[in-house]
Amino acid sequence: MTTLAQMTEDFAFLDDWEDRMRYVMELGKALPDLPEAERTAENKVKGCASQVWLSTHPHEGPDPVIDFAGDSDAHIVRGLVAIVLAAYSGKRASDIVAFDAIELFSRLGLIEHLSAQRANGLRSMIQRIREEAARHLV
Average pLDDT of the chain is 94
Q: Which active-site residues does the annotation give?
A: 48
Are the beta carbons of 71 and 53 closer than 8 angstroms? yes
Phi, psi torsion values for 52, nearest 5 degrees: -135, 135
Q: What is the pTM of this model?
A: 0.94
Identify the pLDDT of residue 11. Answer: 94
Query: For residue 1, is pLDDT > 80?
Result: no
Are the beta carbons of 100 and 28 closer than 8 angstroms? no
pLDDT in tens, 30-49: 999 999 999 999 999 998 88
pLDDT in tens, 65-89: 999 999 999 999 999 999 999 999 9
